[in-house]
Amino acid sequence: MGAGQTRVLTSTFLEEDAASSGRPLAAVLLNWTLPSLAARVWQRATLRICADGGANRLYDELRGPSHASDSVPMPHPHAIIGDLDSIRPEVAAYYRDAGVAITDLSHDQDSTDLQKCVEYAAAHGSRPQHIVAFGAHGGRLDHILSNLGCLYRYRHLNLVLVGEGNITRLVPRGRSVVRPHADLEGPACGLVPLAGPARASTQGLKWDMDDTEMRMGGLLSTSNILEAEEVVVESDSDLIWTVQCKG
């Protein structure tokens, strides 16, 4: 592998308050089952966005009238955007009455609701250090593949996908150091070259690679195990990093 800048990928956004840390964080809720840690990240985010039916999830699972007595109130989203073909009328009315901006982008059928949310996050306020999309795994396979494709499309934006027991992000080609959150991530993990063959070396995994070629239809580093506080990855191509989510 050629010499170059090392990129450090941390998961501090899972626990720190984005406003007080000075590291802006955008949280996106998609229309799928939300993991338990979504609530804590949502409360601490500096920008909160619901993707269409994700507003139903917030209303039903985290914030609706049935949760009004919860000890920790859930903030409203700053925006609800998308095709608006999934949000229920009573949910739209609830948030509209609360002053939440609801934007119909159904005229754009060449981008998904997640893409619309990511681009909104990148264009509004301080550029977030991370954009975390909850509910990004599970359901239809074409939706999951599209969400994974967003990691490549927005490789410059630190997009992280969370859901169904997984936290997934892009490890760019070159040298990267991944620092998982010990309490919330692991031990199971994997590295997958979705965009084409890759040669990779790692340190910190139970089954490390040494300039090993991976490709779809060939060897993949799946069902691996974290064995160190940080994982060093060197690759000649972008890789998908996925790790078990405990929250």
Look at residue 8 and tell me if it is in a domain: no
Instruction: Kindly state the tokens that stand for 22.
Output: 């000075």
pLDDT category at 19 given cuts 50, 70, 90 is low
Are 69 and 43 contained in the same domain? yes
pLDDT digits (tens, 9 = 90+) for 74-101: 899 999 999 999 999 999 999 999 999 9
Q: Are strands 198-203 and 166-171 parallel, antiparallel or unpaired?
A: unpaired
Element (H, E) at 204: none
226 in Cβ contact with 186 (< 8 Å): yes
* DSSP symbol at 75: P
CATH of the domain at 172: 2.60.120.320
For residue 209, pLDDT over 70 is answered with: yes
Report the predicted TM-score, pTM, of the whole model to 2 decimal places: 0.91
Mark whether 176 and 125 lie in a shared domain: no
Quick one: 160 and 204 in the same domain?
no
Please state the domain count of the chain.
Answer: 2
Share of residues in the chain with pLDDT > 90 (%): 78
Assigned domain for 209 exists: yes
Residue 64 has pLDDT above 70, yes or no: no
What is the 3 state secondary structure string of 51-83? ECCHHHHHHHHHHCHHHCCCCCCCCCCCEEEEC
> Looking at 145, 164, 183, which one is the last position of a domain?
164
Domain that holds residue 38: 20-164
Domain finish residue from 164, 183, 206? 164
| CATH label of the domain that carries residue 124 | 3.40.50.10240
Instruction: Give yes or no for residue 1 having a pLDDT over 80.
Output: no
Q: Same domain, yes or no, for 182 and 99?
A: no
Residue 149 and residue 172 in one domain: no
Please provide the average confidence, as pLDDT, over all residues in the chain. 91
- The 10s digit of each residue's pLDDT in 162-202 is 999 999 999 999 999 999 999 999 999 999 999 999 999 99
